Structure 1
Amino acid sequence: MPSSYRNFRNSVPWLILSLEAVFIALFYFVFPYDDKLIKAYPAFQDVNHMMIFGFGFFLMFLKRLIEAAMSLTAVVISTGAVLGKANPVQLILMTVLELIVFHMSRWMNNTFLRVTDSISMMHVHLFGAYFGLAISSCFPEPSPRTDKNARTPKSDLLSMLGTLFLWVFWPSFNSILSDKKWRVIYNTYFGLAVSAVTAFALSVLTTKDGKFRMTHIHSAVLAGGVAVGYAAHSIEHPWIAMALGLLASVIAILGSYCSQRCLNPLKLHDTSGVHFTFGMPAVLGALTQVILLIITNWNNLPSMGYLVMIQVGAFCLTISVALITGLIAGLILNLRLFKSIPVSKYFEDQFYWEFPHLAVGF
């Protein structure tokens, strides 16, 4: 049966081809080959595995090259907030807009606040979560009676496979731009390990039947890696990373427990729970970084005040840009021109994909 979404055939192929032409032109004029890229290839591989296998399954229920791949994390996280509600045209435009705005946010942090590349890149989780939530607030809420976005054992299994990929490669992601790689790698592993163990313990404690719940594990296993990423370069003792992983897991589990109940008063639907999987752990990590700066520079108050202001300013700038531009992008994407999906058709893929098992006579 042909797609009943009239705008799909007329817009998606030409939009994709146009963007491809722009990228080819950019690489012709701006991005020549660099011999240094070969040295970064192993790290680039790890980040690609995270993006393709990790986040790819996770959402089922270059020097410049490396930073480009890492920047996609923001887009994938944001996609989790609008999954099933945005059509392909809207997702493509969201991707382009978000990448541009995220790099603008990083540029402002690097240029005006003198934040290092490694720290500004760790804002990718914060930016992605709140940009996605801001866009989601512009889409009508799905009906509370719908079960189209319900989980199945197969989708939970695939999603957990993505979580495992992300768990394995997360230390590479956190350390790739840092000049203290080994400290970042070890602190990330400690945070992830405690986060994973805590996720299983809290899942049993917070369920009525006292069983492990896949949604809890899925949300909390990675929270420690997100939170530790901000301060991993300055954490000098393993117990700090472990405590941070524990707190991040608690936030993610409790958030998963009451996610939509907490967001409903704001008329905001978060399809994949990115607020408590990435957003709140990122806030925890940013606050931890500030606390560690205060402890480290306690005897030098002028220096401490300056450093704290820089980090708080970077945090406020990132989240403000994410929310404001996300709202603007959400309003743009909901213009009639882009043929928003009717609420009754949320979480359906038949408009865009062929499903042989749904064909008559199958």
Structure 2
Amino acid sequence: MPANYRNFRKNVPCLILLLEAVFIGLIFFFSDDGASRSDLSYPAFQDVNHMVIFGFGFFLTFLKRYGFSSIGFNLLIVGLGVQCSVLIEGLEALLLQRAKEDGLKRITRAAVSMTAVVISTGAVLGKTNSMQLILMTVVEIIVFCLSRSLNTTFLQIADDVSMMHVHLFGAYFGLAVASRFSEPSPKSEKNTSTVKSDLWSMLGTLFLWVFWPSFNSILVENRRKAIYNTYFALAASAVTAFMLSVLTTKDGKFRMTHIHSAVLAGGVTVGYAAQSIDYPWIAMILGLLASVITILGSYCLQRCLNPALKIHDSSGVHFTFGLPAVLGALAQIILLIIKNWTDLSSLGYLVMTNVGAFCLTVSVAVTTGFFTGSILNLKVFKTTPVSKYFDDQFYCEFPHLAVGF
């Protein structure tokens, strides 16, 4: 049996060692001690860190034979990606001659940026090896930081709004990468879940739900309003998910796959305008609509669009994060129009720049994701054979295999 499994003993350690050497060298030359006073608190950063490590780690454990790899690879790419993001942000500040931020804010921004990579990982879950994921992480972080820089520098988009494009970028980058991988067999026994794996995945969803208000508020000025609106949007999307789950099943029972996907949709959608929404009922409407578009989108995408485009979206990131992010971007533009209706001289410019930022983010994500997926499928990266998709045994050691893993 071991002979049938590819050995990554040389490639992965060498790649990680090379990246760490580059990170340490660049941080030595371009970074300060990070000890300056921060306007962020450690508990706020800890909430985001919990989301990225624990929440998303368990969120992606729904596959029956891919739990160890889901959690382990998530920790690996977050550890590398945060270092890479801090460096890219530092180099960008140096080139554009911006004032340096304090250490805690830099690492918090890097952790938020890593959400894009974790979301993208969900689209190719079980189909990529550790070496491919590491390279995808580095490329995506660099491109996402570049996309944000274009939005903030040339289109004058607010920094907190450009950061909330993280869901949009992550979803469509991941889908573009997934389009370059072979589709698994529809009858694959490993591409399924069990009661235990679904339970662990739902645990990750609950952690994400609890900490999402911190995620939406940590980099904005009016944090209290952002927390307030995000919670109402999450509550509305969660309740709506239960309602629609009953209405869309033949036997009128709750389906945890619906709940798993839709309860977070409100937090994704309201992220763009969380601090600028004046009334909580607006956030609740957005949460309701986000839940509706997620559940209905899961039917349309899985049965119509994905088969036509030959995209296998492992964890449904398109309808879980992509569609709610599109709705949020459109809602943010509509709210912008309503608030600035009396100032017609600047309204057109504001609308065009925000639409341009949305189009730029999606186009950069899809284009670079497509090329990244093509590169990752080169033989040098030891592409995982379709027969070994969604299998922990391909990467992890299991002493108990003799008793039936």
Report 1:124-273 matches (<5 A): 124-262=166-304, 263-273=306-316
- Aligned counterparts of 1:285 and 1:360: Cα–Cα separation in 2: 49
RMSD (Å), alpha carbons: 1.5
Give the whole-Å Cα distance in 2 for the aligned partners of 1:21 and 1:105. 26
Task: Say if 2:108 is the partner of 1:107.
Answer: no
CA distances 1:39-89 after superposition (whole Å, capped 9, x unpaired): 442221111011111111101103111111111100000000000111111
Report deviation, 1:35: 2.0
Alignment of 1:1-362 (within 5 A): 2=2, 4-32=4-32, 33-37=34-38, 39-61=40-62, 62-262=104-304, 263-359=306-402
Whether the aligned pair in 1 keeps the contact of 2:388 and 2:394 (CA below 8 Å) is no
Determine the structure 1 residue equivalent to 2:80: none
Distance 1:201 1:54 in 2: 24
Structure 1 SS opposite 2:351: helix
Letter in 2 for 1:187: N
SS in 2 for 1:298: coil
For the residue of structure 1 that corresponds to 2:188, the secondary structure is: coil
Q: Is the 8 A contact 2:59 2:200 kept in 1?
A: yes
Q: Residues 154-213 of structure 1: CA distance to partner in whole angstroms, max 9, x if unpaired?
A: 111111110111111101110111111111110100000000000111111111111111
Q: Is the 8 A contact 1:3 1:352 kept in 2?
A: no
Specify the code of the residue in structure 1 equivalent to 2:46.
Answer: Q
Structure 2: unaligned runs, 5 residues or longer: 63-103
1:271-314 Cα offsets, whole Å, 9 max, x none, are 00000000000000000011111111112212110110111011
CA 151–178 in structure 1, closer or farther in 2 if over 3 Å, else same: same
Letter in 2 for 1:106: R
The farther-off stretch of 208-217 and 31-40 is 31-40
Distance 2:255 2:404 in 1: 38
Cα distance in structure 2, aligned partners of 1:344 and 1:305: 53
Percent identity reads 73
Residue 82 of structure 2 corresponds to none
- Cα distance, 1:361–1:165 mapped onto 2, change above 3 Å: closer
Structure 1 unmatched ranges of 5 or more: none
Question: In the aligned structure 2, how far is the partner of 1:191 from the partner of 1:93?
Answer: 35
**AA matched with 2:180:** C
CA distance in 1, matches of 2:404, 2:362: 52
Corresponding letter in the other structure for 2:53: I
Rounded to whole Å, the distance in 2 between the matches of 1:323 and 1:78 is 11
Q: Which amino acid aligns with 1:81?
A: A
Compared CA separation, residues 207 and 360, structure 1 to 2 (3 A): closer
Q: Which stretch has the larger CA shift, 109-118 or 26-35?
A: 26-35
What letter corresponds to residue 391 of structure 2 in structure 1? E
Contact (CA 8 Å) 1:200, 1:217: kept in 2 or not? yes
For the residue of structure 2 that corresponds to 1:359, the secondary structure is helix
TM-score (norm 2): 0.87
Q: Distance in 2 between matches of 1:234 and 1:181?
A: 10
Runs of 4 or more, structure 1, over 4 Å off, are none
